[in-house]
Chains A and B, each alone.
Chain A
Amino acid sequence: MIRERFVPATTAGMFERHHLAIYRYLFRMLGSRDRAEEMTQDVFVRALKGASRYEDRAQERAWLFRIARNLRLDELRRVRRTPAIQDEEPLQPPQQALRASLRQALAMLPDDEREAFVLAEVVGLSYSEIADTCSTTPAAVRSRIYRARMQLRAVLDMPAAGKPLV
């Protein structure tokens, strides 16, 4: 049986290799630790169900990110909400405050720009991997990341006090 042989080893390995990246992507996109954890779990449960049909091991990471993205977009369509301001830790001295400002600024970006920026800068995917995940072209990814950076530059000019941008 392919399923019996394939699943136990690969799911555990996949989880070890990718769960932090998936979680960070979802956390930055959803803005909630709880939702990011729930959805990361859903990604691996869904991956398990589809594992017997999936054969291209080389594209494993892009495959998991596509699952994560589809789940996120499903939820976005269902609840039609904008990402909450990240609910992680209370504001701290300067560098921490600057990070908080970056999170807030990220939450204000259009979804496609935020997603491209997070996948590139937080997760470390290449243009082609992001394009594959987001069903677009590398040129569009390059453009989205550039636009995101231009808007996020404003964070660097702010006094590092953790004040909201709006």
Chain B
Amino acid sequence: MDAHLETLSALLDGGPIEIPALEAALADTDARRGLVDFVRLRQLAREDIAMPTSNFAERVERAVGRSRAFARLRVPLPLAAAAVVLALLGGALIDMKSLLPQREQEQTAQVPPPQPSRVLQFDAPGR
């Protein structure tokens, strides 16, 4: 009985069935009654049409529109990555330039004074 009903359930759905199984199912009175019930259930389910509220389509259109606008604003990832790298390089360059005079001063301080070429001595009278 269960197998017969399952076969007729699949028949109703257009699913794959074997002919001998179908013949046996259709020969079973209870299974035929079950098939009628399945059809009634289908009718009930399909008659019970649920509809969204009248402004539903407009609301979805607005939501999709917002999402679409957001999508347009989005910058592709490689472009964003390139911008970040450029900003970092630019920042580093500026940083190096601002440090340059200070470094030159430091270098100057480290150079030893030149050796004297002549030594002048003055003798004070009366010493």
The answer to whether A41 touches B44, judged by C-beta atoms less than 8 angstroms apart, is: no
Interface residues of B in 17-73 (CB under 8 A from A): 34, 37-38, 40-42, 44-53, 56-57, 59-61, 63-64, 67-68, 71-72
Establish whether residues A149 and B9, one from each chain, have CB atoms under 8 Å apart when the complex forms.
yes
Q: How large is the interface on A (under 10, 10 to 19, 20 to 34, 35 or more residues)?
A: 35 or more
Kindly list chain B residues whose C-beta atoms are within 8 Å of the C-beta of A102: 41, 44-45, 48
- Within A23-44, the residues touching B (CB, 8 Å) are 23-24, 27-28, 33, 36-37, 40-41, 44
Compute how far the CA of A103 lies from the CA of B14 in the bound complex, rounded to whole angstroms: 24
Contact of B46 among A23, A121, A127, A145 (CB under 8 A): A121
Contact with B along A13-25 (1 / 0, CB 8 A): 0010001100110
Name 17 extra pairs, CB < 8 A, besides A15-B57, A102-B48, A142-B10: A7-B68, A20-B52, A27-B50, A33-B52, A33-B53, A37-B56, A41-B59, A45-B67, A48-B64, A48-B67, A98-B44, A117-B45, A122-B45, A142-B15, A146-B5, A149-B37, A155-B41
Q: Given the complex of chains A and B, what is the CA–CA distance between A28 and B51 in angstroms?
A: 11
B interface SS class: helix
How many angstroms between the C-alpha atoms of A113 and B2 in the bound complex? 17
A23 / chain B contacts, CB cutoff of 8 Å:
50, 52, 56
Considering the chains assembled together, what is the distance between the CA atoms of A44 and B58 in angstroms?
A: 13
Are A28 and B60 neighbours in the complex by a CB distance under 8 Å? no
Question: Of A33, A150, A156, which is within 8 A of B50 by CB?
Answer: A33
For the complex, count residues of B whose C-beta is within 8 A of A: 34
Mark A residues whose CB is within 8 Å of B: 3-4, 7-8, 11, 15, 19-20, 23-24, 27-28, 33, 36-37, 40-41, 44-45, 48-49, 86, 88, 95, 98-99, 102-103, 117-118, 120-122, 126-127, 138, 142-143, 145-146, 149-150, 152-153, 155-156
Docked-complex contact B60 and A99, CB < 8 angstroms: no
In angstroms, how far is the closest chain A Cβ from the Cβ of B56? 6
Contact A156 B53 (CB under 8 A): no
CB neighbours of B46 from chain A (8 A): 121-122
